[in-house]
Amino acid sequence: MERRYWNINLEEMMEAGVHFGHGTKKWNPKMAPYISAKRKGIHITNLIITACFLSEACDLVFDAASRGKKFLIVGTKKKVADLVASAAIRARCHYVNKKWLGGMLTNWSTTETRLQKFRDLRARKLSTLQTYLGGIKYMTGLPDIVIIVDQQEEYMVLRECVILGIPTICLIDTNCDPDLADISIPANDDAIASIRLILTKLVSAICEGHSSYIKKG
């Protein structure tokens, strides 16, 4: 996999507050290698590791996009819902920003039935299905890579992907388990600025990959 330049610099990440973790009492001891310091009852993650993983994730995502793989971005917290939607639309990926219905991936045949219903109801445009399925209406099969914004919130999504064997990229905070996802990026999942920064990098990688895929024909 070719390593490209993704304009990841540590000052930018510090400004966005990517290095903040959760309170000391809520930590997951498996995160010990990624924590560099403790200050005022809050754990501070090691930004070098974050930068390494983020660039690796961007390389992987660029590679996959240039081969025409499908992505899914999942983020259901109220604060980040709009961010996830705009990021995914910009990158032409599927997304889930309202509630994740259990079994969306493992029970794909039922989800397909719902999507068919949604398509037939489109004429009315008032359906509540729009909130749940709006982001995946262009999805024809299971995605190839799933990007998850907060592991604690989207634990079910991670479980489904592990069962199905779909590679995942996940934003990990100090109270999460880094072994579950394939690439876990230790970052702050509370501040909108930090999620925005990481999503920007990933989205730019996906866009570049798509454009190189389209160029290839």
Partner 1 sequence: MASAVALSSFSSLFLRSSRSSSASSSAPSTSFIPRSLTHPPSPLRLSAPAPSPAATSGGEIETTFYYNDDPSNIVTFDPPERPEGYVPPPAFDELPPETEEEISAGYEELYGPAYSGESVLGNDIYVMDAKLKKTSSHLGRKKREKVADGFEERVVQVRRVTKVVKGGKKMSFRAIVVVGNKQGQVGVGVGKAKEVVDAIVKSSVNARMNIVTVPMTKYSTFPHRSDGDYGAAKVMLRPASPGTGVIAGGAVRVVLEMAGVENALGKQIGSKNALNNARAAVVAVGKMRQFSDVARERGIPMEELWK
- In the region spanning residues 158 to 217, those forming contacts with partner 1, defined by CB under 8 A, are 190-193, 196, 199-200, 203-204, 207, 210, 214
- Residue with Cβ nearer partner 1 (18 or 158): 18
Residue 163: Cβ-neighbour burial (10 angstroms; 0-12, 13-18, 19+): exposed
- Residue whose C-alpha is closest to residue 168's, from 152, 149, 145, 200: 145
Q: Distance (Å, rounded) from C-alpha 162 to C-alpha 100?
A: 16
Binding partner 1 by CB under 8 A: which of 28, 46, 152, 175?
46
Residue 156 sits in the site that holds partner 1 (CB under 8 A): no
Regarding 91 and contact with partner 1 (CB under 8 A), the answer is yes
Q: Does 28 bind partner 1 (CB under 8 A)?
A: no
Q: In whole angstroms, what is the distance from residue 119 CA to residue 125 CA? A: 10
Q: Name the minimum Å distance from CB 14 to partner 1.
A: 7
Element (DSSP H or E) covering residue 206 = helix 192-216
110 binds partner 1 (CB under 8 A): no
Amino acid sitting at position 93: C
Parallel, antiparallel, or unpaired: how do β-strands 71-74 and 168-172 relate? unpaired
Min dist. Cβ of residue 37 to partner 1 (A): 5
180: left (phi over 0), alpha (psi -120 to 50) or beta: alpha
Question: How many CB atoms lie under 10 A from the CB of residue 148?
Answer: 27
Residue 78 touching partner 1 (CB under 8 A): no
- What's the min distance (Å) between Cβ of 10 and partner 1? 5
Q: Give the whole-angstrom CA distance, residue 143 versus residue 69.
A: 8
User: Interface with partner 1 by CB under 8 A: which residues?
Assistant: 3-8, 10-11, 14-17, 19-20, 32-33, 35-40, 42, 44, 46-49, 51-52, 55, 68, 70, 83, 86-87, 89-92, 109, 112, 115-116, 118-120, 122-123, 133, 137-140, 190-193, 196, 199-200, 203-204, 207, 210, 214
